[in-house]
Amino acid sequence: MKVFLATGNKKKIDEISKILDGSNIEILSINDGIEIPEVIEDGNTFEENSKKKALEIAKFTNMITIADDSGLCVEALNNEPGVYSARYSGENATDAENNKKLVENLKNVKNRKAKFVTVMTLGKPNGESYSFRGEVQGEIIDISRGKDGFGYDPHFYVEEYDKTFAEMPEIKNKISHRAKALNALKKGINEILNIG
């Protein structure tokens, strides 16, 4: 089954494609030359943003569409940056700029507990949508470690593995917030699409 993945982030496309490898879902994306309009993510929650994106792009492409909204929620920062994770230090911010602001805001803060959250929404061109949430717990470290991740991965430390997400891409694809949301979506997709 062909499903369109609504994101302009090529690293995210690669990660989601790897997680869905071996399923009955064939991912199409901007990598296949399909251009999509930008969707303004103005919701207050991950659910609102992922649903809006999935439904707008499903209508535009006339294809079943998967969209996600993901972010980092840091306990001591009132769950910031949250839905503003990609633009924490301003519009068009780089990963390095966002990470620098995060570390600065946690200076002299002992509580480093954090979680990554993903809400994955499957949207149909007829306006129906189904959302799936995934979370993974960790903590924020000051010194960046690892080169394989993106976003806040080099600062997101998972004690169980004694590594950051950027140091363990293969394991990350199995245990991450995005993997959990996608696995929930995989379980429900046959019923949702009346197949199988």
pLDDT at position 196 is 39
Would residue 14 show up in a list of annotated catalytic residues for this protein? no
Q: What is the mean pLDDT of the chain?
A: 92
Q: Give the per-residue pLDDT at 114.
A: 98
Which CATH code for domain 2-192? 3.90.950.10
What residues in the chain have per-residue pLDDT under 50? 195-196
Q: Which distant-in-sequence residues (6+ apart) come within 8 Å of 84 by Cβ?
A: 71
The rounded distance, in Å, linking the Cα atoms of 188 and 192 is 6
Catalytic residue among 21, 68, 69, 153: 69
The Cα-based distances of 103 to 129, 137, 159, 175, 176 in angstroms read: 36, 18, 18, 24, 22
Residue 183, pLDDT score: 87
Q: Considering only CA atoms, which of 19, 130, 146, 152 is closest in space to residue 77?
A: 152
Other residues' Cβ atoms within 10 Å of the Cβ of residue 173 = 18
What is the C-alpha separation between 150 and 169, in angstroms, rounded? 10
- Is the CB of residue 112 less than 8 Å from the CB of residue 106? yes
Look at residue 84 in the predicted model and tell me its pLDDT: 96
pTM of the model: 0.88
Distance CA 57, CA 40 (A): 12
Q: What's the pLDDT score for residue 190?
A: 67
Q: What is the pLDDT, as a whole number, of residue 154? A: 97
